[in-house]
């Protein structure tokens, strides 16, 4: 449980960064050049929930042995519902009677999901190289930061 709580701030920060990037990209694509100040606390609130839920789904505290595909579904389905509810409450979505609103929401949600997967993959590759380098130094009897 300590690891779960310890990882939440990092997960929330990463989620907030990705949400802010996605929001900025979508806003610029629509032709807007300004972000309302109220969006930052709204995105932060959603990212805290997203960070907690991400750690729940992808961490090892709750689910010890489960496939990555199942973890993605454990994360993505509830988080998409919460994101949609927040979008309605925060008035990101105002045309609820138009079917294209839901299609756009799903498309944007999937696009943001793909962007976050790409960013996480880049991060894991960078960290993996650092870890491998430190492991080789340790195996060769060199200095290691962990000694």
pLDDT tens digits, 29-67: 888 888 888 999 999 999 999 989 988 888 777 777 888
CB 68: neighbour CB atoms within 10 A?
8
Q: How far apart are CA 111 and CA 7, in angstroms?
A: 25
Q: What pLDDT is attached to residue 143?
A: 53
Q: What pLDDT is attached to residue 146?
A: 45
Domain residue spans of the chain: 2-139
pLDDT in tens, the chain (147 residues): 787 888 889 888 988 988 888 888 888 888 888 888 899 999 999 999 998 998 888 877 777 788 877 888 888 889 989 999 998 899 888 888 889 888 988 888 888 888 877 877 787 788 777 767 766 776 676 554 444
Q: How far apart are CA 77 and CA 57, in angstroms?
A: 11
Question: Cα-flanking dihedrals φ and ψ of residue 139, to 5°?
Answer: -65, -30
Q: What pLDDT is attached to residue 54?
A: 85
Q: How far apart are CA 23 and CA 71, in angstroms?
A: 25
Whether the pTM exceeds 0.85: the reply is no
Q: What pLDDT is attached to residue 82?
A: 92
Contact 48, 28 (CB under 8 A): no
């Amino acid at each position: 449980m300590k690891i779960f709580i310890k990882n939440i701030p990092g997960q929330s920060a990463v989620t907030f960064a990705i949400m802010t990037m996605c929001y900025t990209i979508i806003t610029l694509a629509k032709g807007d050049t300004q972000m309302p100040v109220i969006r930052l606390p709204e995105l932060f609130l959603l990212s805290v929930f997203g960070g907690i839920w991400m750690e729940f789904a992808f961490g090892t505290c709750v689910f010890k042995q489960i496939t990555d595909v199942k973890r993605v579904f454990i994360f993505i389905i509830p988080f998409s519902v919460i994101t949609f509810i927040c979008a309605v409450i925060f008035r990101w979505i105002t045309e609820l009677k138009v079917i294209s609103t839901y299609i756009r929401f799903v498309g944007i949600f999937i696009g943001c999901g793909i962007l976050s997967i790409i960013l996480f993959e880049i991060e894991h590759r960078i960290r993996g190289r650092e870890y491998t380098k430190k492991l080789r130094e340790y195996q060769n009897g060199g200095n290691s930061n962990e000694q």
